[in-house]
Amino acid sequence: MQVDRSFIREVEERSGQRFGACFHCMACSGGCPVSDIMDYLPNQIVRMMQLGLRKEVLESRAIWVCVGCYSCVSQCPNRIHIPYMMDALRELALEEGVKIGEPDIWTFHREFLKQVDKRGRVYELEFMARYKLSTMSLFSDMGSGMKMLLNGRLELFPHTVKKLHEVRKIREVCYGKK
């Protein structure tokens, strides 16, 4: 077990939160809709950061499972913004190239953002197909996809932003040239 004292400062910096205020009342975890499938609860992540458990936190599944529903934010007596903390932690996990706790969810985000980069908008039909292909789950859930298609709830043709170069430039500014 490696203890990293600078870790929590980094996360505070990135997320704009002060975790010293947390008194582990667990209000955040109590209302979290996905706590059942988290390996560590939101307040446990805070505690682990306080203990300097960098690797354990960055490789956790919890940081990927959080959907950013903001339930915890409205519950927290100290207004600690847990979803911003989660954002910062995923960012760090990707930058440091650690083992990703929930590879499918990361694939989901990545495929979605590829769509944004390609057209500036998301073409759901292609997005879903690509997500399914990359997670090798092509035939799971076909029923609901077909249903949406037949009900005219998926777009048949993609739309592209006219000034796509601006959207690409945004990517370049945020990710560096590739």
Partner 1 sequence: MEKNEKKSDLEATPHPRIYYYPGCSLMSTARDLGDSLFQMARLVGSWLEELNDWNCCGASPAHSVNQNYALLLAGRNLVLAERQGIRDLFVICPSCFVRLRTAEKTLIAEPDKNDLLEEAVGKRYQGSVRLRFFLEVGSASQMNVFREAVINPLKGLKGVLYFGCLLTRPEWITGFDVLPYEDELRSFVEALGVETLDWGYGKQCCGAHLALTKPDHVDTLVDRIRDHARRVGANCMISFCPLCQVNMELRGKNSEPLPVFYVSELIGMACRLPRTEKWIRKHLVDPRELLAEHNLL
Please give the residue ranges that form the binding site for partner 1 (CB under 8 A). 14, 33-34, 36-37, 65, 67-71, 73-74, 86-88, 90-91, 94, 102, 104-106, 108-110, 112-113, 115-116, 120-122, 124-125, 128, 131, 140-141, 144, 147-148, 151-155, 159, 161-163, 166-167, 169-175
Report the C-alpha gap between 91 and 68 in whole angstroms.
14
Of 3 and 150, which has the nearer Cβ to partner 1?
A: 150
Q: Does the protein bind ligand SF4 through residue 120 (CB under 6 A)?
A: no
The minimum distance between CB 141 and partner 1, in angstroms, equals 7
Helix pair 42-50, 6-15: axis angle to 10 deg: 130
Report the C-alpha gap between 35 and 64 in whole angstroms.
12
Q: Find, among 38, 74, 72, the residue nearest to 57 by Cα.
A: 38
The minimum distance between CB 154 and ligand SF4, in angstroms, equals 27
The minimum distance between CB 13 and partner 1, in angstroms, equals 12
User: How big is the site for ligand SF4, counted in residues (CB under 6 A)?
Assistant: 29
Whether 105 and 137 have beta carbons less than 8 Å apart is answered as no
Q: Does the protein bind ligand SF4 through residue 175 (CB under 6 A)?
A: no
Q: Find, among 158, 149, 152, the residue nearest to 126 by Cα.
A: 158
Q: Does the protein bind ligand SF4 through residue 34 (CB under 6 A)?
A: yes
Q: Which stretch binds ligand SF4 (CB under 6 A): 60-68, 99-107, 121-129, 164-172?
A: 60-68
42: Cβ contacts below 8 Å, ≥ 6 apart: 28, 29, 32, 35, 62, 66, 72, 82, 86
- How many other C-beta atoms are found inside a 10 Å radius of the C-beta of residue 137? 12
The minimum distance between CB 159 and partner 1, in angstroms, equals 7
Report the C-alpha gap between 52 and 56 in whole angstroms.
9
Question: By the criterion CB under 6 A, which residues form the site for ligand SF4?
Answer: 22-28, 31-34, 42-43, 46, 66-72, 75-78, 80, 82-83, 86
